[in-house]
Structure formats: C-alpha cells, structure tokens
Structure 1
Amino acid sequence: MPRFLRPLTRTVTYTRWLHLLCAGAFAFVCAAVYPGLSQPTLRDWVLVYLVPVPLLALAGLVPLVRRAEGLQARLMLFPGGHARVAGHGAESDVSVAPSTSWRDRGRTSAWLVVRLLLGLTVALLSGQVMALVLDMTAAAAGTATHSASVVTLPGTGWWYGLLIPVTLFVLLYVVVGAGWAMARVAHTLLGPSSAERLAALEERTEQLLERNRIARELHDSIGHALTVAVVQAGAARAAGDPAFTERALDAIEETGRAALEDLERVLVVLREAEQPASRRPTLQEADRLLDSARASGAKVDAEVCGPLETVPGPVSREGYRILQEALTNVLRHSGTVPVRVSLAVGDGRLVLEVRNPLSTGGASGAGGTGSGLRGVRERAALLGGRARTGPVGDEWQVHVELPVG
C-alpha cells in the first residue's frame, strides 16, 4: 500500500475524528439554545463558537473532569490495548488523575476550550464536505440540487464524479492533521503535573528497590541451600558412613524445602503485587540456620545475649539474611571449620558477629564474586547500621551493628 494512503487505513484516524466530532456536538447543543440554528448569520456562527467557552472553562475547574478527559483522550487519541495500561506508549503522557492544583484546573479548562474550537471546526467542515459530495453526485447524474453546502456547483456533468474521491481525501487528510494536533495538545495540557511525575518517580524507585531486595533474597536463600547441599553431599561421599549419609540427606532435604518456600514467596510477590506474601523468617528462627550449618559438618558455637523477640521486624528479618549469608560464606570458602556466632541485643542496637579460622586461600570471602558480602553491607546501610567484613588476625570476621531503637 502506498505510504500516503496509510493514515487513511489506521483506526486512530477515525477514533480521533469521532473525538473531535463529540466536542462539536456539544457546541451545536448549546447553539440550539442560543443563538439558534435557523438560518444563522455570520454573527450567529461566531456566537456558536463563543457561547460554550465559559461553560467549559467552569467545567474544567471540577477535579474529576480532568480524569474523564484523560481517559477519553487515552482511548480515542491513542487507541489500542496499551491505552488501558499506564506507562506503555504515548498515552502514558496523558494523566488520568483528578486535578490537584489550580494549575491543573486551568490546563483542563484550556484543553476543553481548544478541543471545542478545533472539534467544531472539523464538524462544520465535515458537514460541508458531505453536503458537497451529495451535490457532486447529483450533478454527475445530471440533476441540479440545492443542499446545505455553501459551494454552488455550476451546471452538471459526469466529471463531477471524478472530484468526489478527491474531496473526500482532502477531508480525511484534514482530519488526520487535526487529530495529530489534538494528540500533541493532550500531551501538553493533560500531561502529568510535577506532583504526579514525582509520585511516579517515587513509585518507580520503590519498584527498583523491591527488585533489588528480591534479588538479594534469592541470592541468600538459594545460595545457602546449594552450598549446604554441595558440602553435605561431598562430606557424605568422603565419610562412607551410612548413618552420616542419612543425616546429610536429611539436612539437604530440610534446607532445600526451606529454599523452595523462600522461592515460592518471592514468586508470589512477583506474580501478584497486591497479594500479601507469606511471613519472612526472623532472627528468632536463627536456630534453623545454625542446625543446617552443624549438619554440614561445621562446629558452630552460638551465643545469644538479650531478647531477640524485641528486635523490630525489618531489622530482625534483615539480620536473619545477614547471618545466612555469613554462614554460607563459611561453608563455601572454608568448609567444615569451627564457627563462633554471637547475637547481642542491648543499648539500642543489635550486634551480629560471625568468626571462623581463615582458609588456606586467605579469606572466607575470597574466590567468589563479592556480591554476598556487598549485600551484607548494603542491608546494614539501608537500616542505618554498619558492617565490617574481613580478616582479623588469623580469623575471618563478619561484624554487623544495626539500630533497634
């Protein structure tokens, strides 16, 4: 199909035409009341344009009018399945929120007036072109008519039939241009206000933070489960003891089941954002991590000081993940070595410390990508705390302090 004909085959051309005609229809309704449409003069046509303007300007001050116009503009100026989903395509630049400021109300009033003026012009032109087409059809058939068209055709002749498609093409391309202009005006006058743009930016930031948190959750949970499984399987093969192998399989099963629960919870969050996810583990369930590490062969000595149940939920949940990452690093990089775990609550803070002998490679955290230890520091910083990781003498230390006040 020739490129110049493509606008005439697009649905958006005709939905925008209808959008403009609806505005013109309102003007005609007002004109039927005053000044009337019986043999209108030039002055009457000027009044047809001007009389509805104060009414629309006042209507634009109503907050919900902005939402109605935004929805209508999305559906008719930018038609398609994407028009019903915010943030996809050009229609996302058209707000569907009620007016929240006088500036928004003023922009809505200006939009209604512009839509009225352009829509009435297109409606009048469409009516005149249709009347002219009827006159041309009659003239091509050799019959003289007197329609509502302001153009008088001189005589009759078959060649008038050749002008009919040209006239319709001109009208359609005028409609294409007017629809394009209305779409640009919609972006300007119905676009999101600064407050709406800030709210959208904050929402986007929250989504990115949530995705980052989910990535850390998966790294900690799945990484811990795989590390325990690998260590247990290797230890069972080396031991050659059926009883030890049985305990190793039990530990792998328990750790894998916990990882699957975490994975399912994360998938629920990703699939249905409005559905509450199951409860995330807290430090009160730290025994599960310690038992898992012990079952892997590590000699874990744990000391708990203070009431863990008084630690606020966010701090306790992040503390659980930090402890999980620290134990995972021990098993991954040092193997089944003695581990000292300390959890202390007091003086308005939670102190979590994990120590283990340095591996032959020089550090518990060496050999990996470093994302786990970086995640520990990020978790602590987001809660207003601090974390230190690295060798201290002949030991590797993960030391984290989190505020609980």
Structure 2
Amino acid sequence: MFRGIRPLLRGSTYSGALFAYCGALASLPLLPFAALPAMAWPSASWGVQVALTVLLWSVLIGVTGLAHTTRRVLIACARRMLGVPLPDPVGGRRRADRLRTSLWLLAHVVLGWAGAQLSVLLFVAALLLPGGWAGAEAGVSVNGWSLRAESGWQSWASALCCLLLAVALCLVVTYALRWLAPRLLGPSSAERLALAAERERALAERNRLAHELHDSIGHTLTAATIQAAVAGEVLDADPVAARAALRSIEESTRSALEDLDYVLGMLREEKSGTAPTRTLADLPELLDRLRHAGAVVEPELSGDHAQVRGTLSRAAYRIVQEGLTNALRHGAGGPIRVTVTAAPDSLELDVVNRTGSGSGVGGGAACGKRPDAFPTSGHGLPGLFERVRLLHGEIEAGPDGPEHWRLAVRLPVRLPA
C-alpha cells in the first residue's frame, strides 16, 4: 500500500503538474490575438465564435513550436521539471522535429488547462463540502451537477475524496507529460544517428589521445630511466657526460609534460594549448636523446620527408618512437638500426635491435600473428597494430634471424578513398 502512495509524496509529481499549469498560463497572451476574428464577426453564433477562437488559438500555439529556440527551451524545462533525461537537439532544423515540438506544446497546454480547472474545482469542493464552514447552502454546481454541503461525516469523507482526487490528478498530468516528453521532445531518428556519430568521434579521439599518451610517456620514462642509470655510473668518472644525461632527462620530461597537459585538457573538455605536432622532422631530436641515454642508434633516413605531412607524419613519428622504446626496454644492447624511407607512394619504417635471448621489441612472437597474440605487457604493440590498421598500412613484428628483432611498417602516402 505504501508503495502505491509513494508517488503522491514525491515533490517531482507536483513540479511536473506545476510545469503543466505554467504551460497553460503561458498560452494566455496568444488568446486575444486568436479572439480577434471572432470579435470581427459579431453576427456569428456564440458556439461558432468559441470554436473559431479555440481553433486559431491552437494554430498560434503550434506556430510557436516551430521556432528552433522553443524546442531547446522546452527540452531544458522538461529535464528540470519532469526529470526526464532528454539530450540537447543536434543538427539542423528538421521539419519533423518542429512538428513534434508543436504537438508537444498543444498537448502541454491541453493537459495544463484541463488539469488546472479540475484541480481548482476539486480543491474548492474539498473546502466547501464540510458542513458549517460556508453555511448550509454552500456547495459546488457544474453544468447542472451539484454537490451540497451536509452535516455529518459524509461531508468530511466527500471533502477528503475530492482532495485525494486533486492530488491524483496532479500525478496523472505529470505521468502523461513524462510519457509524451521522450516521444515528442526526445531525439528523432536523424538526431539519434547524429548523437551516435558524435559519440563515435569522441571515442575515436579519446582512443587516439590514449595512444599518444602511451607512446610519449612510455618512451620518456624508459629513456629517463636509462639516462639516470648512465648518469649515476659516470657521475664521478665523467661529470660532463653525467650532466649531458641529466639535461637530456630534463628535455624529454618537459616534452612529455607538454603532451600530458594537452591530453588532460582534451579529456576535461577544456581549451588547452596547441596540440603537440611532433612529426618526422623531429626524429633527429628523438635520436639525439637516445644517444645521450647511452644507446647506439644507426639511422638511415632517405627520401623526401617533406612530402609526408599531417596525420601520416605524426603517426610515423609515434611508430618509430614506440619501436625505439621497446628496443630500449626489451633489447640486449648493441646498435639499434632505424630506417625511414619516403617513396612517392609509400612510407617505410624499420626498427631492428639485438635480442640475445630471443625476446625483442614485441616480447618474442612469430611474424604474422595477431596483435593480441603477442605476450607483451602493456598496450605498445597492439596499439601499433591498431594505429597502422587505421592508416591502411602493413605491419610485421618478429624475429629477424637468431639474434635480432625487427619491426617493419609500410604506410601508403595517399590513403585510399
């Protein structure tokens, strides 16, 4: 029983009814304009004048709903007063959405006026029915139907019933508006498609940011760890080399902090600084930092790297960076060969390092396996496979002879349509 009356005790029930009644009151300024044609036709009967006024009043209410701003305001008010989770409208002004808004306004006003009049009538009846409050002749009469005050418990019971009916009417009006709101103010099929596309773009952007952050921070921490170890070993014997390693740590961590600040700003949906735009032109700086860390790097850069621009150049930089990071993390020392060849129709990237124990860049897996089949810790190699797949490229990672590991990537310069 308590569960049945629980909705009657919620404030949201009465805020929804108040929303309906306010909608009815908001339509009053349109009534004088709707009554003008009836006033200009005095020869018509009273019934015709009323019907004409109501018809024109409904048309004016519907026309108000055609404005795009009206829909936004109504959605915000419905979220606030009815507690219905309605998304903001997206896309352009569609005719179907405008018509649904007009239907909502008409339903809103009709429910508001009907609910307000019946509620007032029931509340007045609840006040007048108990005998002795307003005299023996007090009562309520509507269209020939009358309810008179009588002495005794019957009048109090009738008053209580009228009061409960008025409260229940508020509940009915609120539930009716809550049922109509998603259907008339909620997203249409076109809006749902636009919202799904927007969510997909947001997820793709966050996935890209996660890759960027992993590549940048992972490489920086790996290089900084090696550089710190080198600085500690040569601090007494070669202070100059130690200071160079510390400067390299400072530069690489500052660069990583810029990446981190940008990514966090995007995740917080705040305006952040200019996005990091490290491209193939920044490869020499990256290789210099590795040399300061004590790594032996043998680069071979050929072709016109200037023709590789935009997303492809940034992705190529991150792929080489991840390959070098894994070579430092899993390699067995020795030189790291880095080959970047820019051809007119493709960009080829190779990173080869010694493994010694047979586990190199990817952790020891045969070439050609799926990325999730590699026994790696973290998301480095699977992330590379995903990045290359999105760029319509080819990637191979696996042993290259008995003592080397090779990461080979081929990216098309002109992406297919």
Q: Which residue of 2 aligns with 1:131?
A: 124
Q: Distance in 1 between matches of 2:130 and 2:395?
A: 86
Return the letter of the residue paired with 1:400. Answer: V
Give the stretch that moved more between structures: 190-199 or 355-364. 355-364
* CA shift for structure 1 position 296: 1.9
Give the match for residue 115 of structure 2.
Answer: 122
Unaligned ranges ≥5, structure 1: 79-89
1:397 and 2:386 matched: no
SS at match of 1:152: strand
Per-residue displacement from partner, 1:94-142 (whole Å, max 9, x unpaired)? x545873333233233323322332222122022113313423674354
Q: Name the aligned partner's letter for residue 354 of structure 1.
A: V
CA distance in 2, matches of 1:28, 1:236: 81
Alignment of 1:221-232 (within 5 A): 221-232=216-227
The 3 A distance-change label for structure 1 pair 252 and 60 is closer
CA offsets 1:228-258 (integer angstroms, 9 cap, x no match): 1222333445556343433333332322222
Aligned-partner SS, 1:365: coil
**Cα distance in 2, alignment partners of residues 242 and 373 from structure 1:** 37
Report Cα offsets for 1:171-206 as digits up to 9, x if no partner: 111211221111111111222111111111111111
Cα displacement string for residues 275-322 of structure 1 (whole angstroms, at most 9, x for unaligned residues) = 454433222111221012112221111122233333212111111111
Question: Which residue does 2:319 correspond to in 1?
Answer: 322
Is the Cα contact below 8 Å between 1:133 and 1:164 reproduced in 2? yes
User: Conserved in 2, the CA contact under 8 Å of 1:303 and 1:343?
Assistant: yes
The residue identity in structure 2 corresponding to 1:214 is: L
**Which residue of structure 1 aligns with residue 60 of structure 2?**
55
Q: Distance in 2 between matches of 1:18 and 1:48?
A: 25
Q: 1:303 to 1:238 in 2, by over 3 A?
A: same
Tell me which residue corresponds to 2:191: 196
Inter-CA distance 96–207: structure 2 relative to 1 (3 Å threshold): closer
Given candidates 295, 300, 303, the residue that maps to 1:298 is 295
The range that moved more, 68-77 or 58-67, is 58-67
Instruction: Sort the Cα spacing of 1:98 and 1:368 in 2 relative to 1 into closer, same or farther, 3 A.
Output: closer
The 3-state SS of whatever aligns with 1:384 is: coil
Identity of aligned residues (%): 37
Match of residue 372 from structure 1: 380
SS in 1 for 2:85: helix
Contact 1:329–1:364 under 8 Å retained in 2: yes
Contact 1:140 1:157 in 2 (8 A): no
Counterpart for residue 211 of structure 1: 206
Cα distance between partner residues in 2 of 1:46 and 1:26: 20
Pick the aligned partner of 2:335 from 338, 344, 351.
Answer: 338
How many residues get paired? 390
Between 317-326 and 241-250, the greater mean CA deviation after superposition: 241-250
- The structural deviation recorded for 1:149 is 5.5
Tell me which residue corresponds to 2:368. none
Determine if the alignment matches structure 1 residue 180 to structure 2 residue 162: no
What residue in structure 2 maps to residue 84 of structure 1?
Answer: none
**Distance between the aligned counterparts of 1:45 and 1:6, measured in 2?**
41
Structure 2: which amino acid aligns with 1:20? A
Q: Which residue of 2 aligns with 1:81?
A: none
**2:13–2:170 contact (8 Å) kept in structure 1:** yes
Helix, strand or coil at the partner of 2:75: helix
Q: Is the 8 A contact 1:61 1:105 kept in 2?
A: yes
Report the TM-score, using the length of structure 1 for normalisation.
Answer: 0.83
2:336 partner amino acid:
V
Alignment match of 1:67 (pick from 72, 79, 83):
72
CA distance in 2, matches of 1:234, 1:335: 16
TM-score w.r.t. the length of structure 2 is 0.81
C-alpha separation in 2, matches of 1:70 and 1:91: 9
Q: Structure 1 residue 352: deviation in Å?
A: 1.8
The CA deviation at 1:16 is: 1.3
SS of equivalent residue, structure 2 residue 277: coil
- Tell me if structure 2 keeps the 8 A contact 1:63–1:98: no
Alignment of 1:21-32 (within 5 A): 21-25=21-25
1:255 aligns with 2:263: no
Structure 2 unaligned regions, length at least 5: 40-45, 364-374
CA RMSD of aligned residues (A): 3.3
Q: Which residue of 1 aligns with 2:369?
A: none
Report the residue type matching 2:96 in the other structure.
R
Q: Which residue of 2 aligns with 1:388?
A: 396
Paired residue secondary structure (2:72): helix
CA apart distance, 1:155: 4.5
Q: Give the aligned partner of residue 241 of structure 1.
A: 237
2:332–2:354 CA contact under 8 A, matched in 1: no
